Structure formats: structure tokens, C-alpha cells
Structure 1
Amino acid sequence: MQSPSAPPSASGTSRCFSESSSSRPPQDTKRRKLRIAIVTENFLPKVDGVTRTLARLLEHLRAEGHDALVCGPENGLSEYAGFPVIGTFGVPLLVYPGLKLNFARPRFINELTRFRPDVVHFVDPIWLGAQMLPLVNHYLPLVPCVSSYHTNLPTYATLFGAPWLESIMWNLTRRLHARCEIVFCPSESTRRMLRGKGFENVEIWSRGVDTNLFNPSARDDNLRASWGCTPKPARLTGPLTPSVVPVDSKAKLLQYARKLSLRPSKKRRARGASISADLDDVFIRTPPSEPTEFSPPPSYDSLNDVPELPLSPFSLPPPAISPTECVVSQPPITAEEPESKTVILYVGRLSWEKNLHLLVEAFRLLPAPVRAASKLVFVGDGPARAELTGLCKRLKLDATFMGHQKGSRLAALYASASFFAFPSFTETFGQVVLEALASGLPVVGLNAEGTSDLVVHGKTGLLLDVAAVTRPGKHTEAGEVPPIPSVGEFAAVMTPTHPAFQQCAREYSALFERLVCDRTLRATMGQRAQVGAVCRTWYNAMDAVVQGYEDVSKRAGVARLNDEHMNEALLQLHARQFKPLG
């Protein structure tokens, strides 16, 4: 939902700093400039999780001084982030008009050969990737290839009524990714799924969030008033409890870092100043090692359980903050202060494969008084919007459709809601979930791939365990992670005509009711959610891919194609009657 061209966006300070900086090379090291060619099935101006992530990667490469070239569908763009974009024609899919079957063209290989890439990155290879991988291997045999898995494309065959095609697509997808040295995926649950399907060399390419944009301070009471919701009572607008401090002020957090001596010394920062400018033409400067954001330090009440020192006549001093002060408590609502409506927010593509039937049915099943005190807000657009709007009107549900939003307007929508509903089971990550958590919203979702990696059940949100509902005879042992059903199992159960669908909808509705009726629980979960999201920086997420590029380039033993290799490849092109296109 956020503009792809705009920068997107509970542990102690020292822990967050180590996580943020450990993935970065030491400050005084030098990193070679890379030339990255990207072959993608999908690109802007279509806006979805894949294109936004790809746009973010290109912006990161530009900021770090690398070079890139994009080969993908024709979209009217000749460049993005200063990098050339080469397009080709495609045939729209009947079942999914937003996607096309794109065809390779001779110019792709011609431009790739001239570009002399260090690495070729295939994004979600399935159709164009199947054509380009053999060509790249033949004409650029010394260049290593990597791939990234973003979308559960094979499972969409089942969702669109062709389950017989799913196994064929899995075999094709597995073979394509097997020709690459690294397969990036966005979450640990997706990696487990891919390994179970026979994929190898799978690494995590996570996502980040801009906490300067997505945070609770973006709340807009005028927006809430347009939904028929009263502003938040004054007694609920005070600071968070001492034990759960949000990262609202970067200055305060940097002050924490200075007290802990986490900032590099001036002497260390000055070491790179004398490096020759000639070397800077071949190498790029690694960014500062300090993080852009810190988590708050642990609260003093963590000393409560520390035993007395042995053989000592004195005890540890009492905690600076009383444990009772660290508990979120709110007085009951009085007659003079009526309860504001609870805003249940969904952000994402309005398409039935996002499991929106479950969301609508769960809202309908809320007890009448609870539903009267709730508001359902949809943000996004898609092929199901007209049908979804009509369904909500027929069921007489209090639902508002805000359309496609981005930037500060999108951030205000998140921060003005009460909690986030996300019933999708086809996500490999769920960027909107992370944006909601950073905005201080607890998330009510499914125990599914992607969502379960971001939401801790009972801590930062509530997750519906579909396996427990559909297989009540099987119980999970204490401490054991509940099993995640396959997409095929989800698709079957989430069909409105399936016998178990109504039971799942009732259970999901019960999770809604719990948060609607318990404002204290919402506040506590929202605070934890915001603190937990702050360490997911975009720099670390994007630089993980760059480090992968560096690794495969070193293993390949070639810095980049030299003139001899380039000329040989061009001769092969001419021999096969590939004519360069100016």
C-alpha cells in the first residue's frame, strides 16, 4: 500500500544494537562495487509486496553505490532509481489480470552482455525466468545466479480451481531455483516449507519497516471522526508504562547508546579518511556501524528475581520502578465517558485469495452489542472490491472502504485503528503485518506462514490455530509450536461451503470479541508490538541480499566479465543472428 518510490519504512538496547550491527561489515572494511542484473516477472507500476520490495532493493543498491539493470515486463518506465529498465511484452493471465506471461527478447541478452554483471538475480522465476535462465547460463557462463521466492505461485493453482496444476508448478519452480546458487525467501516458516518441497541453499531475506513513518503518533482523530468514532479519552493518551517504552525519540535512544559507549570513537571514524580516492572508485564505503534505531533498555524491575549476593551482609537495592507501576491498568469506563468504537483494520489487496470471506463472516458473527461497538475498515483495492462492498451492504455491516492509500495517509490509517485483522494464509512474509505492529496495533491473524513469523500469539496479537479447529482430537504438547496446515488444507477449510468454515469463523470472531471488549489487552499488546518491530531495519534487510551477492561472486572466482569474455559472448550472439537493438 505504500509508495514504492518513497522510502518505506522487546529487547534491550545492547541486544538491538548487536543485531543491527552484526550483519554489517566492520566500519573500516571496504566493499567492492557490484553490478547486479535483475530479471523479474513483475515490476512497477503494479504495486504489491514483490514490486515494493524490489523497488526498495534498487534504492538500496543506488544508495550504496552499486550498479544495476532491470529486465522485466514492459511498463512504460525506462529507468528506476537511476538504473535502466528494459521491458518486454506479455500476455495477461485470465485468472489474474494483474500478472502477465512475459517473453524473453534478444535485447535482454544483448544488454546483459554489455552490462557485464557480477550476479544475475531472478525474482520469482516461473515463466520469463524459465526462458532467461538457460540463456544466461549459455551466454554468461561465468556469472553466478541467485533467485528469490516471494509468492506461493504453485498454490494459486489450487486457489483458482486447478489443483492438478499445483504439482507441475512446484516441479518447475524447484528446478528453476535449483539452477541458482542461493534461493532467498522472506521468512523462516517459508524456508521450512521450501525445504520440505526439496529446495536447497535457502537463505532468509527479511523485510524492514520505517518506524519514523509507521508509529502510533500518526494517529488522526479527524480520520476517526469520519468513521463515526470518538477520539481517544484523555486518560488513555498518557505515556506508555515504564517497562514497555516505544521508540518515539531517536535522540533519547542515541543518548542511551552514548551512555553504553556504543558509538564508535572519533579515532575509529577517522581511519578511512586517508584512503586513496583512486580506491574509492573501485570500492564503496561501508555505512556507519551504529544502528538507526535502538530498542529501549530493559526496565529495572527485571532485578526483582535476582537473589541476594552470597556471603554479603547487604541485599540488592530495591528496583527503581515498582512492579505495580509496570502493569497497564485502566479504570472502568464511566457513564460520562462512553466507549469509542473499536476500529478493526484490514490493509492489502482486495482479492478473495486473501481469505476475506473469513474476515467478513467473523465480523458478522460478533454478538450484536459488540458488533455495534465496532467498525470494519478496508484499505486497498483489487478485483473483489465491488463484490465485497455489496456483501457488506447485504449483511448490513458497518464497513468502510478507503481505497488504495500510501505514505503518511496510510500511516495515519494504521495508527487510527484499534487492531489489525489479517486472515490471509498465502503470505510468505506479510509486510502490512509488520507495518501494523510498528504502528502499535495487535494483529489478529492465522497461524500461517509469514504471519506466524511476525506475531507472537498472546503477546503481540492473537492467531487462529486452524489445525486445532479442524482436528480437535490432536493436541499440541506444552511448548510445542502448533503445526501450520498446507495452503491446500487452508484453501479447503476456508471455502465458505466447507463444514469446518463456520467453526473457524466463530473461533476467529471470538478473537475479535476478546480484543474489542478488552481495551487493556489491546494497549498492552500494541505496546509490545511496537517495541518488537523497531529492530527490523530496512538497511539490514536489503544488505542481507547484497552480502549474498558478494558471497556467490567470490565463490564464482570472477569479479566481472572482462572484455575478452564480453567479446566472445557477443560473437555467439551474432552467430545465432541476434541483432543488437540500439
Structure 2
Amino acid sequence: MASAQTASVNLNRSLPYANTDQKRPKLRVAIVTENFLPKVDGVTRTLARLLEHLNAEGHEAIVFGPETGIRQYAGHAVVGTFGVPLIVYPGLKLNFMRPRFVRRLQQFKPDVIHFVDPIWLGAQMLPAVQKWLPHVPCVSSYHTNLPTYATLFGMPWLEETMWNLTRSLHARCEMVFCPSESTRRMLRGKGFENVEIWSRGVDTTMFGPSARDDNLRASWGCTPNPATLQNTSLSSSEAEQLALVQLAAKLGIQVSRGSSAMHRRKSQLTNGNSPDDESFIRTPPTGPSLTGSPELSPPPSYDSLSGVPELPGAAFELPPPALPTNNKSSSQVVTSTITANTQQQTSKTVLLYVGRISWEKNIRLLIEAFRVLPAPVRANAKLVIVGDGPARADLTRLCQKYQLDATFMGHQKGQRLASMYASSSLFAFPSFTETFGQVVLEALASGLPVIGLHAEGTSDLVSHGTTGLLLDVKASSTPSSPRSSPQKNRLAALRGESTLTNKTTSDLSGSDTTNGLPTPIPSVGEFAFAMHPNTPAFESCTREYSLLLERLIRDRNLRTAMGQRAQIQASKKTWWDAMDAVVRGYEKVIQERGTSNLSDEELEALRKEQQKVAPLTGPIAKLCVVVYLALFVALWLSMLRD
């Protein structure tokens, strides 16, 4: 009996809710966030998706966050407050709670309160919420590895303190969401409890190979690929899955389980007792494809220093090259070995990076690895960097100093961003501070193999040797690891025998779908040690990452096979399923707390009553405001007299 009950519970967890015909209660969700639109990053985009999902499912929400001029989003009210900009990280603010937050919370009467990445505003709101709304359950979500940034910015002594603060804030909530399994393992190792997965999805009607724009490639100086590219490495079942995914994208339908979903759906129609996948019922269509949109014309590029602001100070010097360039004989031998194969490609291979251009994203590794590619391989490749941030000026100068064929496209979104994915050949993502990596999922859905690091977030999405290649920084930067000469290493990698893994060429083109590498993910300290420029460890990692780039630049058939499998795997992650996981979490904590929802009439009557005696607005609060203003005026007058 116990085993049957356990099986039933596991089955219910695998579905959006136990009974697809059951009417779900309407929820009122209050969201407290440190950042919000129009600032665009992974957190704000995911939060926007959640608000759209709540609106589509009939739920009501209210957002408390920084003042951005936005009063409403997706039909939900947005209440802002003032903040102080961070000097060390432009674009972020320390936001302060205002009394109006508590008043609006009590008037809204939420069923659950969601704290998004609580660190400053969340630390102020949590005690207020537990005082004024003690019976309302709270949940939190962990999106950004803020404690690790202390080590990356040269303050390792602060990391433990930030972990203690973050852990204590999330411990006040009854459930903690995180984006990936690797992040959950890390959080549990840090003492976090009740951690659940809140994954991400991708819009396959927007991000896909059909968004390719040959005019955009021409603006990059790249000729179009051949109309047809034969590939025989896919099995018949994988080919059927790929055809289904491409057809569904054209019809505006999201397929979340590949070709087998159609068979399960067919069995459901013939046997109503089947508990299998019901994604064709649960996931609403998102409309027709926009592949013919005129917005696919090439956006302006930033491939020179024009328009890039000068750095403060006149004595700007670039650091010395990461790798020595005095081994000319080895380079000549490798060059003569690969020239024939390189010349067979008639189109440049586009290496794409998408994300914030800041130092913690580790873009320096990509630029250095691109620089040490053999000259014929580098001449057949193009580096495209999409995004903006505080390090753009420095990295632009670095690319110009090395005379690299690199183009900075600035911030992009929507169909233009989708066309950049689809018009590229590889996605290079050297970041190791991600909790999920939304851009990695978008690249996979666009049919791009990913070359990244064996790190949290990326390793949860990329299947090494199947949908991309991953660099194990710990193994590559260890001085005691066996090393042959750079010439032998490069020649071995070109034959598909890279020293980084034990996979053979047949493994690389196989059907293994296990994500990541079997080795443990390195710690932040190990990443920081290996990624510090001008050190032997960084030189070794740069060389190894360059080998991975070269491997896929040269082997177009392997690149195509990986891209096709990447598209199949990414199509299984839909936004509806990802966002509804949070709603199920809300329902769970509400049920465990034992609270019941008020009807619309009861809620309206309660709000009218609370408007008369709202907290922090009585005579004592008004007297405090008058005293504060009087002291401010007195101080101002005394300064004028002086």
C-alpha cells in the first residue's frame, strides 16, 4: 500500500496537477524583486514570463520593486520605490522599502508572497511581512550567485558572510526555487532546505533555424552556407523527431516530448485511463511563426571604437597576451596539416556569444582562445558578440589590438536576436557564474552546438559530445595532469582524440543524452584560480578551449549533427511547463499552511475596510513625517546661514 501511494505521489508530481479537468483556485500572488524591467537580464525576463503566465491562467499578482516608471505589466500592478545606484556594479541599485508597500500588501490580501533573489529589499520586506501578514506563506527563488561575485571581484573574505546572509533570508521562506539541478546540489551543500526546481523554457516559434537571415550573414562578411548539407549520423528515430519539431515550429505548436508525444496522445484518445503526457492539452499554442518578418534586416554593428566611450584616465594599458607566440615551428607544422581541410569550407563559421558583456562572464577566455587558433582556421571563422555592459570598451580594444575578426552587435532582443542565433554556426559561452543559462537554451533551440565550461547551469543543458563540448577547467588547469606537446595535442584534437575527454569520434556523434561531464563541477575558487589572466593555468585553459573551438569549426558534419540534436532536446522545454511549476509550488505551500482563498466579494469588502485603517498611515506616522520634514528644513536653513 505504501509503495502504491508513493507511486501515486510521484505521478502527480510529474503532471501539472493531479486531474487535468479539476478547476484550480485563483491565486493572488505578491512578488518582491530586487530588479525589474526595463532592465533586461535572465531574472527580469523570467519574471516577466511568470507574470504573463499568471495573467493567462486567471491569477492576480502585484509586483514590489525598484522605481522604473512602469505602473502595470501583463495586467498586474507594479509598485516602485527609490534606490541608490551601486558604484561597483553600474545598473544595479540598493532599493529601500517604503510604508506604502505594507499598506498595499494588506489591501491586496495575497495568498502567497514570492521573494525574488532577496538580498537587500527582500531583507527589509521579510520582517515587515512576517509582522503584518503572519499567516501568509512565503516562497523565494535563487537566481544569481551573488556570494561568488565577492571572490571574483577580489573580496573572498566577504563570500562566507554573504552566504550566511543569503541562507538566513531564504530560510525564512517555506520553499526555495532554483533553476537547475546543479544549483540545487550546490545550495543543499551550503545548508539550504526545501529547494525545488523552477526550470526555464524557450519559445520554439521564435528561436529556431527558420529564423536564419542570409543578409545578416552578409553584413558579417560571411557567405551563405550551401542550400543542402548532407548528414548521415542521425538515426531514423532522431530524424523523425527533428522533422516533427520543425513542422510544429512552422505551425506554431510547441512539442514538449518529441515524436513519442504523438503516440502517447493517440493512446490517450483510445484509452481515457492513460496517465501519460498531456502536453498537447496543457500547452496552449503561441500563434503562427514570424519567419517572414521584415525585422530580420541586419541591425547596426559595433565593430570599431566609434561610439565607444573612453575609459576614465589617460593611461589605459591592455594586459600582456595570455599565451606566448614564440613557438613558430609547431604552428607551421599544424598549419600545413589542416590547410587542405580548412579550404574545403566555402563559408565562414560564425562563433556567437550572447549575454552581458562584463568581466564575470569570462569573455576574456573566448577572445584569447579565438586568438590562438591556427591562422587558416581563424581566417575561416568570425566572432560575433551580442550584448552590452561595462566591459565592452575594454574588450573592443582587446580585439582590435589582436586584429581579430570580431563584431560587437550591442543589445538585441526578439526576432533580431533569434535571427542572430539562427545565422550563426556555434555558440561559445565561457561563463561559470550561471544558475541556468537562458541564452544557452535559446542557442540549442536555434540548432547551435554549445562550447562552454563544465559549470553550474551550462552542464545541466549541454550533453557533452552530443549537443556540444564542455571544458573541465579543473582537469585542464592542473599542473600535474599529463601533458604532451601543444603540437601533438592539437593534432590529436583534429583527429577527434582530444586529451580533454575519453570520448572517441564515434562517441561524439553518438546518441548519449547525459548532460554535463561525469566529473564533479569545480568550485568557484578553482574557477577563479584557472581564469585569472597571465597565469599558467589560464594559458592551459585557453589552449584547451581553443582546441574545442577548432574541433567544431573544422568538422561541419559533426557540427550539424550536434545542432540537430540540440534542437530536439531544447524543444522539450516549454515556458508553460516551467512557469506552471511555480504555480504548483504556490498551491503546495498554501495547502500546507492551511489557509483558504477569499471569494471576490469577501476580498473587496476586506480591502474597503482596510483602506480606512491602513497600517503606517495613522496620526503617529503622520507626526513622524512632519517631524522629519521640520528637521530637514532646519538643517537646510542652518547650512544656508553658514
Q: Say whether the fold is shared (TM-score over 0.5).
A: yes
Partner in structure 2 of residue 182 of structure 1: 175
Amino acid at match of 2:573: R
Q: Secondary structure of 1:553's match?
A: helix
Amino acid at match of 1:58: L
Partner in structure 2 of residue 426 of structure 1: 433
Partner in structure 2 of residue 318 of structure 1: none
Q: Which stretch of the first structure deviates more once superposed, 466-475 or 410-419?
A: 466-475
2:227 pairs with one of 218, 231, 234: 234
Question: Please, which runs of 5 or more residues in structure 1 have no aligned partner?
Answer: 1-17, 269-285, 294-331
Deviations 1:317-353 (A, max 9, x none): xxxxxxxxxxxxxxx9999975211100000001111
Deviations 1:21-67 (A, max 9, x none): 82344321110000000000010110000000000000000000000
Counterpart check, 1:107 vs 2:100: yes
Return the alpha-carbon distance in structure 2 between the equivalents of residues 422 and 255 of structure 1.
Answer: 30
Return the alpha-carbon distance in structure 1 between the equivalents of residues 355 and 25 of structure 2.
Answer: 38
Asked if the contact 1:184/1:202 (under 8 Å) is kept, the reply is yes
Amino acid at match of 2:281: S
Question: What pairs with 1:135-154 in structure 2 (closer than 5 Å)?
Answer: 135-154=128-147
Q: 1:98 to 1:571 in 2, by over 3 A?
A: closer
Structure 1 residue 100: Cα displacement = 0.6
Partner in structure 1 of residue 73 of structure 2: 80
Counterpart check, 1:396 vs 2:442: no
Return the alpha-carbon distance in structure 2 between the equivalents of residues 455 and 19 of structure 1.
Answer: 28
Asked if the contact 1:185/1:202 (under 8 Å) is kept, the reply is yes
Counterpart check, 1:22 vs 2:26: no
Deviations 1:339-390 (A, max 9, x none): 2111000000011110011010000010111111110000111111111111
Q: 1:188 to 1:267 in 2, by over 3 A?
A: closer
Partner in structure 1 of residue 192 of structure 2: 199
Counterpart check, 1:387 vs 2:381: no
Counterpart check, 1:347 vs 2:354: yes
Counterpart check, 1:248 vs 2:272: no
Amino acid at match of 2:409: M
Q: 1:197 to 1:70 in 2, by over 3 A?
A: same
Question: What pairs with 1:119-130 in structure 2 (closer than 5 Å)?
Answer: 119-130=112-123
Question: What pairs with 1:467-506 in structure 2 (closer than 5 Å)?
Answer: 467-471=474-478, 473=480, 481-506=518-543
Deviations 1:449-503 (A, max 9, x none): 0000000111100000011112365799999821111123212220103320000
Amino acid at match of 1:197: K
Asked if the contact 2:79/2:101 (under 8 Å) is kept, the reply is yes
Amino acid at match of 2:140: S
Return the alpha-carbon distance in structure 2 between the equivalents of residues 19 and 291 of structure 1.
Answer: 17
Counterpart check, 1:225 vs 2:218: yes
Q: Secondary structure of 1:559's match?
A: coil
How high is the sequence identity, in percent, across the aligned residues?
A: 65
Deviations 1:111-136 (A, max 9, x none): 00000000000000000011000000
Q: 1:79 to 1:218 in 2, by over 3 A?
A: same
1:523 pairs with one of 527, 541, 560: 560
Structure 1 residue 107: Cα displacement = 0.1
Return the alpha-carbon distance in structure 2 between the equivalents of residues 126 and 261 of structure 1.
Answer: 45
Amino acid at match of 1:244: E
- Which is richer in helix? 2
Q: Secondary structure of 1:30's match?
A: coil
Return the alpha-carbon distance in structure 1 between the equivalents of residues 199 and 110 of structure 2.
Answer: 24
Q: 1:267 to 1:67 in 2, by over 3 A?
A: farther
Asked if the contact 2:342/2:376 (under 8 Å) is kept, the reply is no
Q: Which stretch of the first structure deviates more once superposed, 376-385 or 160-169?
A: 160-169
Q: Secondary structure of 1:117's match?
A: coil
Return the alpha-carbon distance in structure 2 between the equivalents of residues 31 and 579 of structure 1.
Answer: 43
Asked if the contact 1:187/1:204 (under 8 Å) is kept, the reply is yes
Asked if the contact 1:27/1:287 (under 8 Å) is kept, the reply is no
Structure 1 residue 558: Cα displacement = 1.0
Q: 1:263 to 1:348 in 2, by over 3 A?
A: farther
Q: 1:347 to 1:497 in 2, by over 3 A?
A: same
Question: What pairs with 1:177-576 in structure 2 (closer than 5 Å)?
Answer: 177-236=170-229, 242-245=236-239, 246=242, 247-250=245-248, 261-262=265-266, 289-291=281-283, 338-471=345-478, 473=480, 481-560=518-597, 570=613, 573=616
Partner in structure 2 of residue 6 of structure 1: none
Partner in structure 2 of residue 156 of structure 1: 149
Asked if the contact 1:41/1:128 (under 8 Å) is kept, the reply is yes
1:52 pairs with one of 33, 39, 45: 45
Return the alpha-carbon distance in structure 1 between the equivalents of residues 502 and 589 of structure 2.
Answer: 41
Amino acid at match of 1:136: V
Structure 1 residue 403: Cα displacement = 1.0
Asked if the contact 2:103/2:615 (under 8 Å) is kept, the reply is no
Amino acid at match of 1:506: R
Deviations 1:506-531 (A, max 9, x none): 00000000001111110111111000
Q: 1:192 to 1:573 in 2, by over 3 A?
A: same
Asked if the contact 2:152/2:528 (under 8 Å) is kept, the reply is yes
Q: Secondary structure of 1:32's match?
A: coil
Partner in structure 1 of residue 315 of structure 2: none
Amino acid at match of 1:262: K
Asked if the contact 2:31/2:64 (under 8 Å) is kept, the reply is yes
Return the alpha-carbon distance in structure 1 between the equivalents of residues 533 and 614 of structure 2.
Answer: 59
Say which structure, 1 or 2, has more relative contact order (CA 8 Å, 6+ apart). Answer: 1
Return the alpha-carbon distance in structure 2 between the equivalents of residues 571 and 415 of structure 1.
Answer: 53
Asked if the contact 1:143/1:560 (under 8 Å) is kept, the reply is no
Asked if the contact 1:117/1:560 (under 8 Å) is kept, the reply is no
Q: Which stretch of the first structure deviates more once superposed, 214-223 or 453-462?
A: 214-223
Q: Secondary structure of 2:238's match?
A: coil
Return the alpha-carbon distance in structure 1 between the equivalents of residues 225 and 622 of structure 2.
Answer: 66
Q: Secondary structure of 1:65's match?
A: coil
Partner in structure 2 of residue 8 of structure 1: none
Asked if the contact 2:342/2:380 (under 8 Å) is kept, the reply is no
Q: Secondary structure of 2:581's match?
A: helix
Q: Which stretch of the first structure deviates more once superposed, 168-177 or 495-504?
A: 495-504
Return the alpha-carbon distance in structure 1 between the equivalents of residues 87 and 191 of structure 2.
Answer: 30
Return the alpha-carbon distance in structure 2 between the equivalents of residues 576 and 176 of structure 1.
Answer: 32
Q: Secondary structure of 1:289's match?
A: helix
Deviations 1:142-198 (A, max 9, x none): 000000000001111122222211111110000000000000000000000000110
Q: CA RMSD in A?
A: 3.2
Counterpart check, 1:90 vs 2:94: no
Return the alpha-carbon distance in structure 1 between the equivalents of residues 262 and 547 of structure 2.
Answer: 46
Structure 1 residue 266: Cα displacement = 11
Structure 1 residue 241: Cα displacement = 6.7
Return the alpha-carbon distance in structure 2 between the equivalents of residues 213 and 153 of structure 1.
Answer: 31
Asked if the contact 2:283/2:576 (under 8 Å) is kept, the reply is no
Q: Secondary structure of 1:236's match?
A: coil
Partner in structure 2 of residue 63 of structure 1: 56
Structure 1 residue 234: Cα displacement = 2.8
Pairs aligned (count): 510
Q: 1:181 to 1:373 in 2, by over 3 A?
A: same
Q: Which stretch of the first structure deviates more once superposed, 161-170 or 124-133?
A: 161-170
Q: Secondary structure of 2:395's match?
A: helix
Structure 1 residue 262: Cα displacement = 3.4
Return the alpha-carbon distance in structure 1 between the equivalents of residues 446 and 437 of structure 2.
Answer: 15
